[in-house]
Amino acid sequence: MFRLAIAALLGAISLSACAQQPASPAGATAPAADSAADKRVREALKQLDPNFAPDYIGAAPFPGFREVVVSGQVLYVTDDGRYLMQSQPYDIEKRAMATSTGLLAHRRTLLASLPHADRIVFAPPNAKYTISVFTDIECGYCRKLHQDVAELNRQGIAVEYLAFPRMGLGSKDYTDMISVWCADDRKAALTAAKADRPVAAKSCTNPVAMQYNVGQQLGISGTPAIFAADGSQLGGYLPPAQLKAALEKLPGAAGRP
């Protein structure tokens, strides 16, 4: 219901009004938390859907807006609750997507809810960086990324895989990923599946559904979806050199999530 309401609203809203918000001076930091603004935004969105239940509301990385996460979608709403936009702005100065510290913390909390023991990990000794990768065994770019794992490890990057069957729970993709996660050697099974080799059907208590659901809360719509330790989403597939360069630009990316 909320997604439909948002889509309808975006068709009618004049986003030019957003330009009336005060511009951020060079070097300005994100505004502090404002519980009154949070309340106004919450009440405004409840007018679209009485059952509105955000996963997160906090200061946007630029003044005049609240940042809202609902069903994995990131929305920006003016502090007065009047205007809404559904597009993540680009920070020209930092040359990266604009992301608030609050949203990064929200993502880290979600990622931390997925136990390390449930991940399929390819890591070098003393890794400098760790990336969490939501993966599907069938997508072409997921397979291409997996071919790069050895090089990523050589560059000091550990890869921790999480399951995200794109076709949804109950699909063949989902049951195949359960077989991978239930295999005696999950790393070998994942490598075989990504090479289009058969994996013996198995069933067990597994984290596939839980990882998929957290991926949806993070707003993932395609795979691979790569997250740095600080909660930054690095996008989809990147060649090893570009991925390492992206990590080096993030002050909080070193270490594990």
Residues with catalytic annotation?
Answer: 136, 139, 142, 166
For residues 75 and 85, is the Cβ–Cβ distance under 8 A?
yes
Token pair in block for residue 149:
């794992």
Q: Angle at Cα 73 formed by Cα 68 and Cα 77, nearest 5°?
A: 35
**Whose CA is closest to 191, among 257, 243, 115, 121?**
121
Strand partners, 134: 162, 225
Buried b (16+ CB within 10 A) or exposed e, 159-168: bbbbbbbbee
Q: Which amino acid is at 123?
A: A
β pairing state of 84-85 and 90-91: unpaired
